[in-house]
Amino acid sequence: MKKVEARPLNVVCLASYFKGVEFLRECHRLGARVTLITREKNLHHDWPREILDDVLAVPNDAKEELFTHTVTQIGRRRSIDRLVALEEYDVGPAASMREHLRLPGMGTSTARLFRDKLAMRERALGAGIRVPEFIHVLNYRALRDYMNRVIPPWVLKPRSDVSAVGIKKLSESEQVWRAIDALDARESPLEQSSFYLLERFVPGDVYHVDSLVDGNAVVFAAASRYGRPPMDVAHQGGVFISHTVEHDSEDEKLLFEINRQLIFTLGLTSGAAHAEFIKSSATGDFYFLEIAVRVGGAFIAETIEAASGLNLWREWARIELQKGDAPYRAEPTRSEYSGIILSLARQEQPDTSPYDDPEIAFRVTKSRHAGLVVRSPRLSRVTELLDQYAVRFAEDFCAVVPPLERLH
């Protein structure tokens, strides 16, 4: 990669959770000086301290103002070239800090579209992208009209939380009103009902498209299907499964096109994105659910790497550091199939060694988690192994915890 400055680039990364180790390593490998800002609760994690210029911690309950102050103090000592949010909760604060310090990258208006599920739905709908009928939980008359018009069940969703946190499936209007009452009884106005939306529940299979973006164009994408909708796993327990969609299939082509249109519409100019869609079991149509400017969680990066040879974290780092230089080019080394099975485990350090199929490409080593990534030139072999492992995982490892109402 051509160097555009004589001195090393200074990259500051925000990570409220333990994420993005390969991003940090790749920035260092490319010659950048890397500073990590995280919360105190994350200091015990296995950050690659040997390649970091500095690791700074803020209190666990720190607000955006303290993050901004910390970054500002770094800027007093040396110029900051890139400010990157490795975790979804840091996207908004990072955008605000960029504007404050006049740094390149996503600003607050665009960041809001990727953090606010209501805003992203409105923008997608305006661009002709199919979304389930939704409404802002705000005006009582509009809510009554919506519930009279849109057949239940409905899903009550927080506008800014991640994954299935805080989501409720409701089948009667009285349940909706009682849920609104409960939300409005919360002490913090930021957790009350105006920060929620109500959406028609669409039965079907849930898919995700994980992308790399440069120049407001998708330069790499991988389409996958969840074994069960993430909301079901979060609320009912069991194993999490995701696997590659058949290459060159109609589903893959449709997903790539909707994803391309979505990213262009929302204005992402560079970085990584994780978008989710549902395929209606009634009509076969794809509906947009949500998108985030991040690498997908639950070891999706490792799963995609197994099939493509391309690591999303490392490639995202290359995109960040080559800004102003030659356009980025994704170079996958293979086009195979992969899948992941993952579950909470009863054991502190679950033993997956009895699973010894040659297709196993990666083993999860996270505490209280059991997980395997498999890879094969044949999709049928991937799904066969995942089906077998699902039965075995239920017996060997599976633990269930109540779903989170809020994530702080």
**pLDDT recorded at residue 404:** 57
What separation in angstroms does the CA of 122 have from each of 214, 255, 261?
A: 24, 19, 14
Write down the pLDDT at residue 406. Answer: 54
Cis peptide before 153 (omega within 30 of 0): yes
Domain shared by 187 and 208, yes or no = no
> Same domain for 217 and 343?
yes
Span 342-351, pLDDT tens digits: 999 999 999 9
Residues 208 and 160 in one domain: no
Q: Which two tokens stand for residue 102?
A: 């006049």
Domain tally for the chain? 3
**Cα distance between residue 112 and residue 384, in whole Å:** 41
* Same-domain pairing of 184 and 211: no
**pLDDT by residue (tens digit) across 151-192?**
999 999 999 976 556 899 999 999 999 999 999 999 999 999
Given a cut of 70, whether residue 275 has pLDDT beyond it is: yes
Do 244 and 377 belong together in one domain? yes
- Among 110, 142, 164, give the residue marking a domain's end: 110
**Taking all residues of the chain, what is their mean pLDDT, rounded to a whole number?**
93
- Decide if 127 is inside a domain: no
Domain of 169, in residue numbers: 133-200
CATH number, position 142? 3.30.1490.20
Residue 146 to residues 149, 151, 183, 282, Cα–Cα distance (Å): 5, 9, 19, 21
159 & 171 share domain: yes
* Distance of alpha carbon 375 from alpha carbon 386, whole angstroms: 11
Separation of alpha carbons 111 and 213, rounded Å = 15
Is residue 58 located within the same domain as residue 195? no
* 244 and 179 within one domain: no
Domain co-membership, 316 together with 177: no
Query: pTM, whole model, 2 decimals?
Result: 0.93
User: Is 55 buried (19+), middle (13-18) or exposed (0-12) by CB count in 10 A?
Assistant: middle
Are 74 and 179 in the same domain? no
Residues 269 and 377 in one domain: yes
Residue 82 and residue 142 share a domain: no
